[in-house]
Chain A
Amino acid sequence: MSQLDHIRNFSIIAHIDHGKSTLSDRFIQVCGGLSDREMQEQVLDSMDIERERGITIKAQSVTLNYTARNGETYQLNFIDTPGHVDFSYEVSRSLSACEGALLVVDAAQGVEAQSVANCYTAIEQGLEVRPVLNKMDLPQADPDAVAQEIEDIIGIDATDAVRCSAKSGLNVEDVLEDLVANIPAPEGDPDAPLQALIIDSWFDPYLGVVSLIRVKNGSIKKGDKIRLKSTGKDHIVDDVGYFTPKMTKRPELNTGEVGYLCASIKDIHGAPVGDTIVSTKNPDVDALPGFQKVKPQVYAGLFPVSSDDYEAFRVALDKLSLNDASLFFEPENSDALGFGFRCGFLGMLHMEIIQERLEREYDLDLITTAPTVIYEVVTRKGDVVNVDNPSKLPDIGSIDEMREPIAECNILVPQEYLGNVISLCVDKRGVQVDMQYTGSQVSLRYEIPMAEVVMDFFDRLKSASRGFASLDYSFLRFQEAPLVRLDVLVNGDRVDALAVIMHKESVRRRGNLLTEKMKELIPRQMFDVAIQAAVGNQVVARTTVKALRKNVTAKCYGGDVSRKKKLLQKQKEGKKRMKQIGSVEIPQSAFLAVLKVDD
């Protein structure tokens, strides 16, 4: 069945709520991949967090058998792609396993910036992009205008784009027909030696490392002896198969196919994403081009609440980084928080998700310090130093120049919200580079400090445009800026984990907000607790948590002891979740306060 010309490998490019999940669910249903009973909503978004947040984080795949109107049965391999701006890097990985992509656009909302960027990535990778106009069931759907917009903004022909509704089921089969007819079959030589690409790997406690692979040439079956190009290590294949979307064993995976591979690889780094798999019989096959490593944009310290968890935390990060190459981490030692890791993320959402996964899947209790972007510092000696941790900023006296990262932001916004969006960009210290009117939307290009972009710009943009504006951004350059480090001192002790680098002009305002917020969060103790915000030796804001007047139980007689003891124990349990800075107990929430004091 799976001759090359009956295989189609494809992805879907779509904005978060333009209906990708619903459409893929429809595909699975049409092709009978799951019984009705098994048909859970949004089967492909399998991580709990993904389903809760309604977004896709990781690439997933499903193999479907579609019997087309010409009577032929095709094997459709659908590789899912993430839809959030933070995860654009994952997209190119998914696309590299495909010959084509469906560009799904909400016929009521039009094109958005993330899809534009992903579309260009697909076109650059030589994929056939087929536009699909979804949500035709909505009364405000305007397919002609949106088709025009696709042509104007992206520049691909959208005249015969299928108009469907994943929600109602309208024309869903037409989408599949269009796909079979227009997305090319994979190329490759079934008789050539094995050459397969690892698209994704994850760690399964029972199976070891499980990899999602695309066979480029040759075939792979159970019992084969394989070699990983990067490590040079050999493994025996335990199993291969498809996701339907359940894991389903197959005798072999052939040229052009996408499926999973288990080879009892217990070492977490035994099957790195982007690696090439070859046969030990013919090991001298070229390695396939891997994936470009993306640089994290946001850094934060993550510390286990209990220092006993440090080792478990390290193992968990190792496992997560297996299929998330964008996750960077290295050991960090904080005076305030002890041993932990400085971690680099693609953006704030990525950070939140990693933290949530660590806490949920690995049962860790973590404290996250204020996120920061990476700064470039030129010292008086002329060295250029990258600083991803405010507490590691060199002494002010030795700094010649500080530079902050600037992001190039592409924003698409309906005309009626243009004013709001422009004032937001100005507010975030943005500089306009370009503005184009295209159909009903305006295409804006701004240069904005990365620190402003990664924090909450995306959310603010959404609220300034009632959800209609969209954003794509990338690192552009470092640029000199008047930056300082704002320190927080608790009873005179500098708390390294609370330091933030910011623009000189916002120091006083942020300092006040921060100290006031901390005052709310730090419980009254046996003594006054002074909270100061300072730049160098200059205090810019201060406040005091007044001492508790007393903490004593009024009465305790013969029968009261057990109950009073429980009260003491409860009080102590509460304190365990606090960090001791000098003699002051600081609750976890205070470390996050830095995050929450924006305006």
Chain B
Amino acid sequence: MTLPPLSLYIHVPWCVRKCPYCDFNSHEAVSDIPETEYIQALLNDLEQDLHWVQGRPIESIFFGGGTPSLLSARAYETLLTGLTEKLTFSPDIEITLEANPGTLEADKFKAYRQLGINRLSMGIQSFQPEHLKKLGRIHDRAQALAAIETAINAGFSNFNLDLMHGLPNQTPEQALDDLNTALSFQPPHLSWYQLTIEPNTEFYKRPPVLPEDDTLWDIQEQGQERLAQAGLSQYEISAYSLPNKQARHNINYWRFGDYLGIGAGAHGKITTSGPQGLTILRTRKTRLPKDYLNTEKRFLAGQDRIAPEDTALECMMNALRLHKGIPVSDFEARTGMTLSSIQAPLSKARSLGLIECDTTIRASERGQQYLNELLALFLTD
């Protein structure tokens, strides 16, 4: 049995300020970040996960946050050195780092690049001053523009810009204006996603006034058209890229691949194979930075086996987000299930025109529009 490809996610849990829409595990850095201790903790954490690697090379690494660009280049140097000692990197490994404007200066960018970090993902979110303010971002329009410029100059030919739409009081014109500004840098990749209000956020407690459904729809349609014109093709619900510039790390999530998750609150997904077939685990690490750094406490906060009746659903929740879906062979290999075992929901979805299935399983255009309805068909009672 071939195990799925393996990636590595590394979480950096600090931000300068917590944004009101953010439901990730991020904490305001009240004093100096304990960089050295954290890097050591990450390597110790990884050490305990190594038995899950099972001989696989690492296809991609993603430094996510929080704000990974708050850490110094030195810190990453130590970390990457440690990683190469413990792991085998795939020759064409993709190493992405998330950066927020306002936390970067030119020297740091260059140093990151020289360390082998070959992709940068920048949390721009908007270029409109009023929206940046509403979103609680620490940067302004000028800093956003400067950050992108700096990244390009530092040698990051492969980068992503995160942009949001459906912002409080946003008009389609403003949304398009944001896109046009972003496109002027000819980004190889755009994550363009609609603002949603998540539980446990400031916005959830005090919800802002969001545009009407019809306005949201106009923004989406016009935006998609504009992105297509610029040669960025949509390959996932919220992801657009030039050919061959898709986010390989994210694609691995969406194709139900494996990933180790290290760092405070990091999640992982690990497949092991035994005589009874596949066991798929979801792992999560200790959430609060102070607990994660406490040597008395364990890194691993919990691990749960994906129940057999949930496996197909969890796979579909990821795979159907991709325009190309998932090859049937990958579905079978990565869930340990046969296609025929999901015949009932598949037929129902097909009869509703939500899914297409030949050598790959993929959501139809309509299925992507109503993805939640489609996924609900894979829910077992």
Contacts and interface: CB of A to CB of B under 8 A. Distances in A.
Interface of A: 526, 548-559, 561-562, 564-565, 567-569, 571-572, 575, 583
A271 to B, nearest CB: 42
B338 to A, nearest CB: 22
A554 B379 contact: no
A551 B370 contact: yes
Nearest to B195: A554
Given A551-B373, A554-B238, 9 more contacts: A549-B213, A550-B220, A551-B370, A552-B368, A555-B237, A556-B321, A558-B259, A558-B267, A569-B379
Contacts of A550: 217, 220, 369-370
Given A526-B370, A526-B373, A564 B237 contact: no
Q: Which of A526, A558, A561, A583 has the most CB of B within 10 A?
A: A558
B194 A554 contact: yes
A568 B318 CA distance: 13
Contacts of B191: 555
Is the interface on chain B under 10, 10 to 19, 20 to 34, or 35 or more residues?
Answer: 35 or more
Nearest to B217: A549
Contacts of B9: 558
Nearest to B213: A549
Contacts of B250: 557
Contact of B314 (A552, A554, A561, A569): A561
Contact of A552 (B237, B267, B310): B237
Contact of B379 (A548, A559, A562, A568): A568
Given A555-B238, A556-B317, A558-B9, A568 B193 contact: no
26 contacts: A526-B370, A549-B214, A549-B369, A551-B370, A552-B368, A552-B369, A552-B370, A552-B371, A553-B371, A554-B196, A554-B238, A555-B193, A556-B237, A556-B321, A558-B261, A558-B269, A559-B24, A559-B261, A559-B266, A561-B282, A562-B282, A565-B313, A565-B314, A567-B372, A568-B313, A572-B376
Interface in B349-381: 352, 366, 368-373, 375-376, 379
Given A553-B372, A572-B379, A565 B317 contact: yes
B237 A554 contact: yes
Contacts of B24: 559
Candidate in A553, A559, A569 with the most chain B CB atoms within 10 angstroms:
A559
Contacts of A553: 196, 237, 371-372
A575 B373 CA distance: 11
Given A568-B376, A569-B379, A559 B267 contact: yes
Nearest to B304: A562
Given A526-B373, A561-B317, A572-B376, A549 B267 contact: no
Nearest to B269: A558
Contacts, number: 84
Contact of A551 (B214, B284, B352, B372): B372
Interface string B215-226: 011001000000
B253 interface: yes
Contacts of A561: 282, 314, 317-318
B375 A568 contact: yes
A565 B282 CA distance: 14
A18 B343 CA distance: 67
B376 A571 contact: yes
A555 B371 CA distance: 12
Contacts of B373: 526, 551
A583 B348 CA distance: 12
Nearest to B214: A549
B310 A565 contact: yes
Contacts of A569: 379
Interface string B195-228: 1100000000000000001101100100000000
Interface string B84-105: 0000000000000000000000
Contacts of B282: 561-562
A572 B377 CA distance: 9
A434 B9 CA distance: 88
B381 to A, nearest CB: 9
The 9 A-B residue pairs whose C-beta atoms are closest, nearest first, are: A559-B267, A552-B371, A549-B217, A554-B193, A554-B194, A551-B372, A550-B369, A551-B370, A526-B370
Contacts of B253: 557-558
A114 B162 CA distance: 74
A548 B238 CA distance: 19
Nearest to A562: B282
B167 to A, nearest CB: 13
B225 to A, nearest CB: 16
Contacts of B369: 549-552
Given A548-B370, A549-B213, A556 B376 contact: no
A143 to B, nearest CB: 62
B269 A568 contact: no
Contacts of A555: 191, 193, 196, 237-238
A332 B352 CA distance: 31
Interface in B272-295: 282, 284
Contacts of B194: 554
A152 to B, nearest CB: 65
Contacts of B321: 556
Contacts of B376: 568, 571-572, 575
Nearest to A550: B369
Contacts of A562: 282
Interface centre among B266, B267, B310 (most CB of A within 10 A): B267
Nearest to B284: A559
A92 B377 CA distance: 57
A91 to B, nearest CB: 49
Output the residue of B214, B368, B371 with the most chain A CB within 10 A.
B371
Nearest to A557: B253
Interface string B307-322: 0001001100110010
A571 B9 CA distance: 30
Nearest to A567: B372
B197 to A, nearest CB: 11
A550 B214 CA distance: 10
A354 B373 CA distance: 37
